[in-house]
A and B are shown apart, each in its own frame.
Chain A
Amino acid sequence: MLELLGNHTVQTVTLGAVLLGMVSGLLGSFAVLRQQSLLGDTLAHAALPGVCIGFLIAGTRHLGWIMAGALVTAVIAALFVQVVTRYSRIKMDAGLGAALSVSFAVGVVLLTYIQGHASASQGGLDSFLFGQAAATRPSDLWFMGGVTLAAMALVALMWKQLKLVTFDPLFAGSIGLRVGVLETLLTAMIALAVVVGLQMVGVVLMTAMVIAPPVAARQWVSRLEHMVFLAMLMGVISGVVGVLLSAGVAHLATGPVVVLVASALVALSLLLAPGRGVLWSWLKLWREQRSIGQRQMLVTLHKLAEHHEDPYYPVERSMLDSFYGVATSHILRRLQARGFVVPASHMRQEGPHWALTDAGHNEARQELERMDWNQAEV
């Protein structure tokens, strides 16, 4: 796969994917933490009319005009959502959905207008809808690089303010920060990231590029600076792996592969991240259930032995089964391995019996003491 890197197109696309991963991981982190993940979705759809307007103004597929147009309409859509949700009873979800679908509809109208009217060829406008990584030109890289650098510089300069607005906007407002200005700035920057990614992965998949790397990163770390850094790394990894995979296999579109790699990273992180991983909490739950079963069993056997005034009183397993309502042989076998119970014979025609050992009695007494303590605390 590495010899692919010698290919000039693949080089360009890979570099583009690196830049896209960095900028979307960086700005997406703030969107996800501020619970505005779907804002990226709305912004991406709302960029479409801007792409068309930029094209109509420039007359050709001039990236600068197209991106400027996309940025403007995306920000307008975001402001629309802000105004409608603040000044009417319409909730965030309906505001986002309305802005998304209506601006996309306007985009479709403009797209068909261009197809029917513009004299110049509309070559490559569709690529903004579905993304066409292979169409990335070396000149586009300068633009993407500039946007990435600008976003990084802005975040570095305003780090403290952005952090405060993200985690505690009320407090930020109370110490005199311009919360509205900062929020609009963040939204505009997310729009910028979305716009940069449009022609690589397309409108729909750009949504995932803003959300997936930060969500994956969040599982591993809990400090903002670590999260932002890791999210950028995750974005770069999904970009590069996705580009190389799609270049290695014929007929694979780049955008979807990049998004699937990012989704796989999220799945892995959700399952395996130390501390937060779902797999670990399942394992812990399972272990606890197992240990509770064993402790209960020890206490039951201990009390039965006390009641019968015979420390080695043999208890029939089928009786334990019906007492617990589940099969208990696996619990008993594990206790046997720990040296707390031994199989005992009682009468020949009856089923298997078990009795506590001395160690088992000790353990059960300790367990009872712990239970007393716990009750005393309550």
Chain B
Amino acid sequence: MQAFLNDPMAMILLTGALVATSGALLGTFLVLQRQSMLSDAISHSIVFGIVVVWLLTHAQSGPLQIAGAALTGVLTVFLTEMVARTRRVKRDAAIGLVFPALFAAGVLLLNLYARDIHIDSHTVLLGEIGFVWLDTMPLAGLEIPQAVVWMTVATLVNLGFVLACYKELKLASFDWQLAAALGLAPTLMFYLLLGLTSVTAVAAFDAVGAVLFIAFVIVPPATAYLLTDRLSLMLLLAVLVGVASTLCGYPLAVRLDVSIGGTMASMTGVFLVLAFVLSPRYGVLGHWLNRRVKYSG
């Protein structure tokens, strides 16, 4: 067991697969609710939360950081909704106003009070999955990489959330009004979903960086959306596409000697383009062939 845990390649792939799984589970609902760009907003503005928690407690990771991130994520969404609700600003502009402001505030705080610590905005935005196996913690008599521990927890929590609230999430994604009328609390679900997205983003930023995490949240679910009409199948396919991207990305990155996280995230794009062209029902090629058959027949 310890030999497995000491193997860099196994740990990198395991971390990547966990990031992909946890991202796809939440991303499926974000994509269906047309809120994908909120994951982008959150993953930038958690820089603010990370810096504030660090300034207050000097904790660089752990439960306090995760709670801080969840709060910042919810704050981002709340502020965005507040600005949009004044009806003076369209919703997309509201998103684009709130998160850069929080990001800028975070970078400035970092600039002023924490010039020489490890959490520079670089690490937050880019991360490097190649080093996850170096940073271990003892657990149950084994030395386990911290990223693996935190990502496992995040994945289990997300999976638990999706399983426990499947009905609520499903209805909130397809018929918000009906969900509200039936008392299934779609707004609460919305904030829980985005709170968990922030938590997962902060757990993932060590591994792949906040921006690359967005790729795992948005792209595999979008790919799955092109392949199926069933929600349960879409979740499964999104997870599979995400994990496949990490598995394909790793050897490619090693061969080219480039960023592993970056290559894994780039691979999600390849799968999206493949689905866009080749998907049996919603692909461009299928449409084109159908039309030819229709007109010639």
Contact = CB atoms under 8 A, between A and B. Distances in A.
B118 interface: no
Contact of A109 (B86, B125, B209, B258): B258
A191 interface: no
Given A89-B282, A108-B126, A108-B259, A38 B96 contact: yes
B101 A259 contact: yes
Interface in A189-239: 204-205, 207-208, 210-212, 215, 218-219
B228 to A, nearest CB: 11
A100 B259 contact: no
Contact of B115 (A109, A126, A251, A266): A251
A205 B108 CA distance: 12
A352 B39 CA distance: 59
B214 A37 contact: no
Contact of B212 (A104, A111, A126, A251): A104
Nearest to B253: A109
Contact of B88 (A36, A110, A112, A270): A270
Given A101-B214, A108-B212, A276-B88, A90 B222 contact: yes
Contacts of A95: 222
B226 interface: yes
B92 A105 contact: no
A251 B112 contact: yes
A88 B115 CA distance: 46
Interface in A143-170: none
B93 A108 contact: no
Measured as residues with beta carbon below 8 angstroms from the partner, the interface class of chain B is 35 or more
A245 to B, nearest CB: 11
A261 B49 CA distance: 20
A73 interface: no
A211 B98 CA distance: 10
Interface in B22-38: 31, 34-37
Contacts of B211: 45, 101, 104-105, 108
B218 interface: yes
Interface string B201-231: 0000000010110110111011001100000
A98 B108 contact: no
Contacts of B89: 215, 270
Nearest to A256: B104
A332 to B, nearest CB: 34
A94 B101 contact: no
B219 A208 contact: no
Nearest to B222: A94
Interface in A70-105: 84, 87-98, 100-105
A204 to B, nearest CB: 5
A106 B262 contact: yes
Interface in B237-283: 253, 256-259, 261-266, 268-269, 272, 276, 282-283
B226 A129 contact: no
A176 B214 CA distance: 40
Interface in A240-288: 251-253, 255-257, 259-260, 263, 266, 270, 276, 278
A165 to B, nearest CB: 18
Contacts, number: 207
A104 B107 CA distance: 20
Interface in B9-60: 31, 34-37, 39-40, 44
A109 B266 contact: yes
A66 interface: no
Given A256-B104, A259-B104, A108 B214 contact: no
A97 B39 contact: yes
A41 B111 CA distance: 23
A22 interface: no
A36 B101 contact: no
A211 B93 contact: yes
A319 to B, nearest CB: 39
B108 A253 contact: yes
Interface in B72-115: 83, 86, 88-90, 92-93, 95-97, 99-101, 103-105, 107-108, 111-112, 115
Contacts of B209: 108
Q: Which of A37, A255, A257 has the most CB of B within 10 A?
A: A37
A108 B261 contact: yes
B209 to A, nearest CB: 8
A113 interface: yes
B89 to A, nearest CB: 6
Contact of A263 (B44, B90, B101): B101
B278 to A, nearest CB: 12
B262 A256 contact: no
B284 interface: yes
B295 to A, nearest CB: 18
A36 B214 contact: no
A89 B266 CA distance: 22
A228 to B, nearest CB: 16
Contacts of B258: 109-110, 112-113, 116
Nearest to A87: B284
Interface in A116-141: 116-117, 126, 129-130
B272 A98 contact: yes
Contact of A204 (B44, B222, B256): B44
Given A84-B276, A105-B265, A256 B219 contact: no
A205 B214 CA distance: 17
A322 interface: no
B90 A35 contact: yes
B272 A96 contact: no
Interface of B: 31, 34-37, 39-40, 44, 83, 86, 88-90, 92-93, 95-97, 99-101, 103-105, 107-108, 111-112, 115, 121-122, 125-126, 209, 211-212, 214-215, 217-219, 221-222, 225-226, 253, 256-259, 261-266, 268-269, 272, 276, 282-284, 287
7 contacts: A35-B93, A88-B283, A101-B212, A105-B268, A108-B265, A253-B111, A259-B101
Given A94-B218, A207-B96, 14 more contacts: A36-B92, A97-B219, A105-B261, A105-B266, A108-B126, A109-B262, A116-B257, A204-B44, A219-B88, A251-B111, A253-B107, A253-B111, A256-B107, A266-B97
